[in-house]
């Protein structure tokens, strides 16, 4: 017989007055247990504690998610049935062996116990309520977890139950139903990298001076850091033409919540492009930012990044021109281990002719020098345009697909269907600059979420070596996005 009272769990009951057991066949004990030596009925006057259960909803919470209380589920109800049938027969319940309202009161399961594991509990022989062991998938079905990865519920019996080689324990119908329900639940998988990660995020800023004297250039750095501090991989994000880090803050915060230090430099832009640095100069500025990351992270530097960043695990990212500059640097700098570009454009940007020496084309000319993995997300809506002085924002001859076609190393391309060139910004209606590019037919919030999902999964796999996120790039999770009509995708060179 299993009793629960209003006292704290584990408190011994004073059963001398026989209040805990109502039939002559039961003898009182302590620890909330009555040992049965004959027919026994549960008391109806004892107030009971509520039990707390996690209710399956067809998919386990993502990894890292907080377990929350839920009403009693079918699995929980069956577990209570199992507990009630393992003791004093059907006493206190109906012919099915289910306990009466004195054992499972209304509202059971409304608060999750702090010491429960996933809301599942077991009853020890001495009456204590204990959490079940952690679930381990796989193993011998006759010992430990079943083939579906779930722990089999323990057979409960009275202390006087006979045991020995001639006695075989058989699963009750309740146990079998519990196992059947558990077997139908899908296995837990990695958390969707399109959702915010589990870490806190803090902000920092630094003004980096490149060069000396009158020729020095100041590069304001916007930095996002995971909380708590640790030696995290670093992603340097380069903004697009005539834009700034403030147009991409959601990307920095998102990556930081997944355990990345994100450094977003504000590059000089001139006035409507006039007086702006060349692409070669921007490439050198980006290299200077990486130099600063290495120096500031060094032990004893006392800098913004000391003890918080691991510059040996470095990735580059960028949008539009920023994607091109990131790829351009990767042709000669071996420090970046991976590059992720959002709708990169190989063109110089602007209608005026420029010097190839100052604005070198990366694709196809230099793609053979990039051997690290690259991820390319883009769109084709802004590949062409018509009208006087028309210049497409992402010309077909210079867009993300051209980088993919000529990639020499592992490469992935993802086209977000219906997106425009500015759909990737936090605010696609950013003003004059954004108005130059026609808006897409997409839901820009979905486009940004997909972009953050693929970027995070890419760096999780390439910088952190977390292969479980590969399906979001080339497996079942990506297949779902394709089937939903959100994207089309290709990979090559062993990506």
Residue ranges per domain, the chain?
1-189, 200-492
Q: Write down the pLDDT at residue 182.
A: 58
Q: Measure the CA–CA gap between 221 and 238, rounded to whole angstroms.
A: 11
* pLDDT tens by residue, 148-189: 333 433 433 334 444 454 545 566 776 676 566 556 666 678
- For residues 373-397, average pLDDT: 88
Q: Write down the pLDDT at residue 386.
A: 77
Instruction: Please provide residue 433's backbone torsions phi and psi, each rounded to the nearest 5 degrees.
Output: -60, -45
- pTM of this prediction exceeds 0.95: no
* pLDDT surpasses 80 at 129: no
Q: Write down the pLDDT at residue 347.
A: 87
- For residues 91-105, average pLDDT: 36
* pLDDT tens by residue, 304-352: 999 999 999 999 999 999 999 999 999 999 999 999 999 999 987 666 6
Q: Measure the CA–CA gap between 463 and 261, rounded to whole angstroms.
A: 12
Quick check: 360 and 304 in contact, CB under 8 A?
no
Q: Write down the pLDDT at residue 73.
A: 44
Q: Write down the pLDDT at residue 62.
A: 42
* pLDDT tens by residue, 27-79: 444 444 444 444 434 333 333 333 332 233 333 334 344 333 334 444 444 44
* pLDDT surpasses 90 at 444: yes
* pLDDT tens by residue, 350-372: 666 789 999 999 999 999 999 99
* pLDDT surpasses 70 at 22: no
Token reading at 404: 């993919």
Higher-confidence residue of 59 and 246: namely 246
- For residues 234-257, average pLDDT: 98
Q: Write down the pLDDT at residue 274.
A: 74
pLDDT tier for residue 380 given thresholds of 50, 70 and 90 = very high
Higher-confidence residue of 342 and 392: namely 342
Strand partners, 70: 53
Q: Write down the pLDDT at residue 301.
A: 77
* pLDDT surpasses 80 at 239: yes
Looking from the CA of 54 toward its CB, the CA atoms found within 13 Å total 21
Which region among 68-77, 298-307, 381-390 has the lowest average model confidence (pLDDT)? 68-77
Return the percentage of the chain with pLDDT > 90, whole number. 53
State whether CATH 3.90.550.10 applies to domain 200-492: no
Q: Write down the pLDDT at residue 443.
A: 97
Q: Write down the pLDDT at residue 170.
A: 64
* pLDDT tens by residue, 454-467: 999 999 999 999 99
* pLDDT surpasses 50 at 233: yes
Return the percentage of the chain with pLDDT > 70, whole number. 61
Instruction: Please provide residue 193's backbone torsions phi and psi, each rounded to the nearest 5 degrees.
Output: -70, -5
Q: What is the mean pLDDT of the chain?
A: 75
* pLDDT surpasses 70 at 144: no
Q: What is the 3-state secondary structure (H, E, C) of the chain?
A: CECCCCCCCCCCCCCCCCCCCCCCCEECCCCCECEECCCCCCCCCCCCCCCCECCCCCCCCCCCCCCCCECCCHHHHHHHHHHHHCCCCCCCECCCCCECCCCCCCCCCCCCCCCCECCEEEECCCCCEEECCCCCCCCCCCCCECCCCCECCCCCCCCCCCCCCCCCCCCCHHHHHHHHHHHHCCCCCCCCCCCCCCCEEEEEEEEEEECCHHHCEEEEEEEEEEECCCCEEEEEEECCCCCCHHHCHHHHHHHHHCCCEEEEECCCCCECCECCCCHHHHHHHHHHHHHHHHHHHCCCCCCCCCCCEEEEEEEEEEECHHHHHHHHHHCCCCCCCEEEEECCCCCCCCCCCCCCCCCCCCCCCCHHHCCCCEEEEECCHHHCCCCCCCCCCCCHHHCHHHHHHCCCCCEEEEEECCCCCCCCCCCCCCCHHHHCCCCCCCCHHHHHHHHHHHHHHHHHHHCCCCHHHCHHHHCHHHHHHHHCCCEEEEEECCC
Higher-confidence residue of 37 and 399: namely 399
């Amino acid at each position: 017989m299993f009793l629960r009272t209003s006292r704290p769990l584990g408190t011994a009951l004073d059963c001398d007055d026989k209040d805990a057991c109502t039939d002559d066949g039961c003898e009182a004990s302590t620890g909330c247990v009555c040992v049965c030596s004959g027919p026994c009925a549960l008391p109806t006057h004892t107030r009971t504690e509520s039990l707390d259960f996690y209710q399956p909803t067809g998919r386990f919470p993502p990894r890292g998610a907080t377990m929350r209380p839920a009403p009693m589920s079918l699995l929980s109800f069956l577990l209570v049935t199992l507990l009630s049938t393992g003791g004093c027969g059907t006493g206190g319940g109906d012919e099915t062996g289910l306990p009466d309202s004195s054992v499972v009161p209304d509202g059971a399961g409304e608060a999750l116990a702090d010491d429960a594991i996933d809301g599942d509990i077991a009853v020890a022989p001495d009456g204590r309520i204990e959490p079940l062991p952690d679930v381990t998938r796989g193993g011998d079905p006759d010992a430990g977890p079943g083939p579906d990865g779930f722990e089999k519920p323990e057979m409960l019996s009275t202390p006087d139950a006979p045991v020995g080689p001639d006695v075989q324990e058989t699963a009750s119908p309740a146990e079998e139903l519990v196992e059947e329900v558990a077997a139908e639940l899908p296995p837990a998988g990695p958390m969707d990298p399109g959702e915010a990660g589990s870490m806190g995020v803090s902000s920092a800023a630094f003004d980096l001076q490149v060069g000396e004297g009158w020729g020095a250039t100041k590069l304001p750095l916007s930095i996002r850091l995971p909380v708590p501090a640790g030696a995290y991989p670093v992603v340097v994000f380069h903004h697009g033409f005539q834009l700034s880090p403030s147009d991409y803050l959601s990307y920095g915060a998102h990556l930081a919540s997944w355990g990345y230090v994100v450094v977003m430099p504000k590059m000089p832009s001139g006035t409507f492009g006039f007086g702006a640095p060349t692409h070669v100069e921007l490439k050198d500025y980006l290299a200077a930012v990486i130099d600063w990351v290495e120096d500031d992270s060094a032990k004893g530097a006392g800098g913004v990044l000391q003890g918080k960043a691991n510059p040996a695990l470095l990735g580059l990212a960028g949008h539009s021109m920023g994607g091109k500059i990131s790829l351009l640097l990767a042709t000669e700098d071996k420090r970046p281990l991976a590059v992720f570009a959002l709708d990169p454009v190989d063109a110089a940007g602007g209608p005026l002719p420029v010097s190839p020496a100052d604005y070198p084309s990366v694709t196809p000319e230099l793609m053979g020098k990039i051997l690290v993995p690259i991820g390319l997300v883009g769109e084709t809506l802004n590949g062409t345009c018509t009208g006087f002085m028309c210049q497409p924002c992402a010309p077909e001859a210079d867009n993300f697909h051209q980088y993919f076609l000529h990639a020499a190393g592992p490469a992935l391309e993802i086209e977000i269907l219906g997106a425009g060139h500015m759909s990737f910004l936090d605010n696609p209606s950013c003003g004059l600059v954004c108005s130059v590019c026609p808006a897409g037919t997409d839901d820009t919030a979905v486009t940004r979420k997909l972009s953050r999902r693929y970027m995070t999964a890419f760096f999780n796999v390439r910088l952190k070596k977390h292969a479980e996120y590969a399906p979001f790039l080339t497996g079942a999770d990506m297949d779902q996005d394709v089937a939903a009509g959100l994207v089309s995708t290709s990979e090559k060179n062993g990506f």
